[in-house]
């Protein structure tokens, strides 16, 4: 009897998670191909960019590529699973997931659980597994904000100050603030911009725009006051890089030199000079676009940026096609997150924005980042399945109507 009850509960749980009718439909194969192509391109670029690090740290030639390849293998399994999970489950469990993500962010500040690297606590270590909670909070915060905005719209309170502005700002502010205090300025900026983009596309009006502007000014002032000395030094170095060419601006200037050395067509794959110590240990992470610029030149850099725009367009297009507001907002948020994070990474290498230190999605090395984006892209593919299913159902209804007439 116990086994029968257990199996029944198990089957019901699996049914709720995976057995939505639309899941049997096909996903957007253009998107899937783009994700696969991006990951293969990432391995190809990482093989060249990490060559100096393998020598410096006495690793095997393919050490970083094999690690990243394993991350992609696990990531694509996760992507497939998330592409099959009914997205309505996220709507139902958004609050619980949000509290869980905040708990993990708080764990970062607890000595013994968190790891302190380069003066920052961004990683939690539970002995069996270690990861960066900020990568988990990105999709979860988007789920929670999307749910809050949908609930406000359903109750026709989206332009009520409490439900339409104050509560969404609290939902945005708590994770952004906790990430900033790690300190992780770059991730907090990316998360803030993404969530504000989601809010703006759904709830923005003149009153909210003015209130948001005031909040940004006050928040920016507080953030400036709470910045660590090295963060302020980076900002100063950005404003006057030549005066700091031997310290804070050293890495960024060499990134710019690398990109300029690539000229029109690049120096050739594997032939970058600046990856050999001039971009420090961040050559496989924050400064990897500088290697792309040097080895593939202006043409290669433009093509890569066009790839970012194309993937963003495909994701946003799936958001537009969604019939329900929750998946529409969630997928839009994922598209904006991918675009904003990518362009900030590119902007740092081109010295357009201050050195903030953030990965280039699917290109930079990093297990947690890869798994997080794979999960988010899996959600996009899941919503694309629902969009294809809805289109097929509409076509069936049209055929039935035509037969009657």
Percent of the chain residues topping a pLDDT of 70: 91
Which residues on adjacent β-strands are paired with residue 111?
114
* Neighbouring C-beta atoms of residue 345, cutoff 10 Å: 27
> What pLDDT score was predicted for residue 118?
64
The whole-number average pLDDT for the span 23-51 is 91
332-377 pLDDT, tens digit per residue, is 999 999 999 999 999 988 888 887 778 899 999 888 889 999 999 9
pLDDT category at 299 given cuts 50, 70, 90 is: very high
Q: Is the previous residue joined to 183 through a cis bond, with omega within 30 degrees of 0?
A: yes
- Gap between the Cα atoms of 387 and 246, Å rounded: 53
Give residue 296's pLDDT. Answer: 95
pLDDT confidence tier of residue 148, bands split at 50, 70 and 90: very high
List pLDDT tens digits, range 55-77.
Answer: 888 888 889 999 999 999 999 99
Strand partners, 120: 117
| pLDDT at residue 243 tops 70 | no
Q: Is the pLDDT of residue 121 over 60?
A: yes
List all residues 6 or more positions away from 398 whose beta carbon is below 8 Å from its beta carbon: none
Q: What would the two tokens of residue 323 be?
A: 């019939």
Question: Which residue carries 């170095």 as its tokens?
Answer: 237
Q: How far is CA 121 from the centre of its chain?
A: 20
Category of 75 on φ-ψ map: left (φ > 0), alpha (ψ -120 to 50) or beta: alpha
User: What is the b/e burial string over 55-84, where b = at least 16 CB atoms within 10 angstroms of the residue's CB?
Assistant: eeeeeeeeebbebbbebbeebbebbeebbb
Using one digit for the tens of pLDDT, what is the confidence trace for 175-233?
999 999 888 888 999 999 999 999 999 888 889 999 999 999 998 888 888 887 777 77
Q: What is the pLDDT of residue 202?
A: 85
Asked if pLDDT for residue 8 goes beyond 70, the answer is no
Residue 11 has pLDDT above 70, yes or no: no
Q: What is the mean pLDDT of the chain?
A: 87
The DSSP annotation for 52-79 comes to HHHHHTT--TTHHHHHHHHHHHHHHHHH
Tell me what pLDDT residue 5 has: 53
Q: H/E/C letters for each residue in 279-332?
A: CHHHHHCCCHHHHHHHHHHHHHHHHHHHHHHHHHHHHHHHHHHCCCHHHHHHHH
Position 24 scores a pLDDT of 82
Output 248 or 267, whichever has higher pLDDT: 267
- Say if CB 383 and CB 318 are below 8 A apart: yes
When pLDDT is averaged across residues 15-20 and rounded to a whole number, the result is 67
Instruction: Record the pTM.
Output: 0.92
């Amino acid at each position: 009897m116990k086994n029968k009850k257990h199996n029944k509960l198990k089957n019901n749980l699996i049914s709720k998670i995976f057995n939505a009718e639309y899941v049997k439909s096909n996903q957007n194969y253009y998107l899937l191909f783009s994700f696969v192509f991006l990951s293969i391109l990432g391995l190809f670029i990482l093989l060249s960019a990490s060559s100096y690090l393998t020598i410096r740290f006495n690793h095997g030639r393919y050490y970083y590529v094999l690690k990243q390849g394993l991350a992609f293998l696990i990531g694509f399994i996760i992507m497939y699973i998330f592409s099959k999970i009914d997205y309505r489950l996220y709507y139902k469990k958004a609050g619980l997931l949000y509290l869980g993500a905040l708990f993990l962010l708080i764990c970062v500040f607890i000595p013994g659980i968190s790891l302190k690297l380069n003066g920052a606590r961004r990683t939690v270590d539970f002995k069996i597994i270690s990861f960066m909670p900020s990568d988990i909070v990105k999709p979860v915060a988007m789920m929670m904000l999307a749910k809050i905005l949908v609930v406000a719209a359903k109750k026709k309170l989206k332009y009520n100050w409490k439900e339409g502005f104050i509560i969404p700002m609290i939902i945005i502010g708590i994770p952004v603030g906790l990430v900033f205090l790690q300190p992780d300025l770059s991730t907090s900026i990316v998360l803030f911009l993404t969530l504000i983009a989601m809010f703006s596309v759904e709830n923005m009006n003149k009153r909210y725009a003015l209130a948001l502007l005031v909040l940004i000014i006050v928040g920016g002032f507080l953030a400036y006051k709470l910045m660590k000395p090295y963060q302020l030094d980076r900002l100063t170095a950005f404003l006057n890089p030549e005066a700091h060419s031997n310290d804070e601006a050293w890495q960024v200037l060499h990134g710019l030199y690398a990109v300029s050395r690539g000229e029109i067509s690049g120096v050739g794959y594997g032939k970058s000079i600046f990856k050999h110590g001039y971009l420090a240990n961040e050559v496989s992470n924050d400064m990897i676009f500088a290697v792309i610029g040097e080895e593939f030149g202006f043409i290669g850099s433009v093509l890569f940026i066009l790839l970012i725009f194309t993937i963003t367009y495909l994701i946003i297009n799936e958001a537009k096609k969604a019939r329900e507001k929750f998946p529409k907002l969630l997928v839009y948020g994922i598209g904006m997150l991918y675009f904003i994070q990518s362009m900030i990474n590119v902007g740092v290498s081109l010295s357009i924005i201050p050195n903030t230190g953030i990965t280039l999605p699917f290109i930079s090395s990093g297990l947690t980042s890869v798994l997080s984006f794979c999960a988010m892209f899996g959600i996009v593919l899941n919503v694309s399945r629902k969009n294809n299913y809805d289109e097929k159902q509409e076509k069936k209804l049209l055929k039935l109507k035509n037969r009657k007439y």
